[in-house]
Structure formats: C-alpha cells, structure tokens
Amino acid sequence: MVDHDNKKTRCGTVSIVGRPNVGKSTLLNRLIGQKLSITAHKPQTTRHSIVGIKTEDNLQIIYVDTPGIHVDGKRALNQVLNRTASSSLHDVDAVLMLVQAMVWNDDDQRTFELVSKVAQPFYLVVNKVDTIKKKSDLLPFLTKLPSHEALQDVLLVSARSGDGVELIENAVAKRMPFAPFQFDADDLTDRSSRFLASEAVREQLTRFLSAELPYSLTVEIEQFEESPELLRIGAVIWVEKNSQKGIIIGKGGERLKEVGSRARQSMETLFGCKVFLQLWVRVKEGWADDERALRSLGYEKP
C-alpha cells in the first residue's frame, strides 16, 4: 500500500530534459537502477514521457524522461514530441537539463530558454564527461554556459559509467517536499507492460535500421496474454511505405527474425518470464504527419 503519512515521507517529481541524443534515457536507467527507457545512438529515440520511480526508505523520487527538444522538424510527430517534452517542465519539483560536454547548439539554447521561462529550480547536468581526455579542457566550456536565477548548480556526470550520478541524487533529494508516496515502494514505472513491450521492439528496430527509417515506423501491441508459464505478445510494426516494409523484413525474413529475437530477450529480462513474440509489418501511409493517427497509436494528445 502507498504510504499516506506525509509527516514521515518525502516525495517529488524531477523532469529530465535536453536536446535529442544527449543521454537522458541512459541517465534515467542509471538513476533507477534498471532499464526502462530505450536507448540507441540515434536522435529522438525517446518518443514518450517515461516515468521511472526510485524509492529508498522514506524518500520517493519520480523521474520523468522526455523526448529530445529540437528546433527543426515540421512533421506532426516532431511537434508532438516537442510539446510532450515542454509540458513536462510544469508542476515538478526540479528539472535536470542535460547537455553534452563541449557541445552547445541551437537545440540546447532552445531547451535552456524553455526551462528558464518556466523558472522551476533546475540543474545543468553536463553529461559524457568521460569522453573528454583532459578535464582542464572543460573549463572554457563551463564558463560559457548561460546563467539564470533558477539555476541551482552545474553537475558533471557520465550517465554511461555512473560517475557523478550520486551528485544528482543528492542534489534533487534535498528539493523533495514532505508528502505521501505517489506509488508503492516496489513500483518502477507507471507505464503498462504492453507499452514497455512495444518499446523493446522499437529499440531493436532503431538499432538495426540505418538512416531515416526508424523515424518512419512505430510499434503497436495487438496481443498481450499472460499465463504462469508464458507471456504471449503480438506486435505490429507500422511503416509509411510498402518499400519500407521489405527493408524491415530483410532477405528471407532474417532482419525481422533478428529484431524479434533480441526484443524477446530484452522482454524476458524485463518481465522475468518466458516470452513468445510474434511480429508483423504493416503499412499506414502518412501516420507521422497525421495527428489523429498519432493519437490512435498512443502518442500524447497534442
């Protein structure tokens, strides 16, 4: 049961924002100690706000991973992703704005402007510092970072290795108000198992497919049947063109088979049981430019 004694417990929400491919999902997974958000070396891998819950003793921190904020992108999907990320800045107790060490571009500036406008207490988290051989090279970059009255601190971390992540935890813990827990102590996310299954498939597609194709597909779970011995999952991979369907299936179905195998292994680790996974590829023309289609496929309401 959720603890409702707000005299003893502290609970709050922390939003993780930043431009695409800066390490937000890797950081969320590191903070909660388990893989929830999918990761890949491609921008805009995250398309939904993902809640990760960490509960220790009398403290519960609700972290929200968000899609990357970006300047360019005229498609309806891009606009939905930006609105999803921007909306996560409201009604939270702290914001972590991630930037990449030695990089500050237009997307970073846009994110900073959004964070500053909301004026919630926020931290600039400089990620991927492990990629900088001489730490002294960081100083000129750090001195040029913009300032704001709501900015609490600048933290140097490597989400990949975990270095410096404890600094984040300590910093945000101090900002959590006395309040009852919003989730049970053993909850890790508010997302359904169906959603996590669809993301596991999309992660492998994003990793296997090159160039722009991952941005032209989405995954929908049509079958999700649980039994004591087995979890049966049927997933549809929606693409925009017939030509894309063949690329995903691959010669003799080999690519789709490999994607399915790896996604199944990921699900078995996540759900802790055997999984039988079936994948189908279907065409829905123009889904990424159609806000009605986006809503029907589970994207946040524009």
Q: How far apart are CA 83 and CA 76, in angstroms?
A: 11
Residues 12-62 pLDDT 10s: 999 999 988 899 989 999 999 888 776 656 555 555 678 899 999 999 999
**pLDDT number for residue 11:** 97
Among the residue ranges 92-96, 167-171, 195-199, the one predicted with the least confidence is 195-199
Domain 10-173 and domain 193-296, same fold? Reply is no
* Confidence category of residue 160, pLDDT binned at 50, 70, 90: very high
CATH classification of 10-173, choosing from 3.40.50.300, 2.40.160.40, 3.30.1370.160, 3.30.565.10?
3.40.50.300
Q: What is the pTM of this model?
A: 0.78
Say which CATH class 193-296 falls into.
Answer: alpha beta
Tokens of 298: 């589970």
pLDDT reading at 176 higher than 50 = yes
Comparing 34-38, 83-87, 109-113, 273-277, the range with the smallest average pLDDT is: 83-87
pLDDT (tens digit, 9 = 90+) per residue, 119-158?
A: 789 999 999 999 998 888 899 999 999 999 999 999 999 9
More confident site: 286 or 250: 250
Is the pLDDT at 106 greater than 60, yes or no? yes
Per-residue confidence (pLDDT) for residue 37, from 0 to 100: 76
CA distance 95 to 154: 12
Beta bridge partners of 128: none
The full set of domain ranges for the chain reads 10-173, 193-296
- Predicted local distance difference test score (pLDDT) of residue 76: 56
pLDDT tens digit sequence for 226-264: 988 899 999 999 988 888 898 899 999 999 999 999 999
Output the pLDDT for position 3: 46
* pLDDT tens per residue, range 75-99: 555 565 556 656 678 889 999 999 9
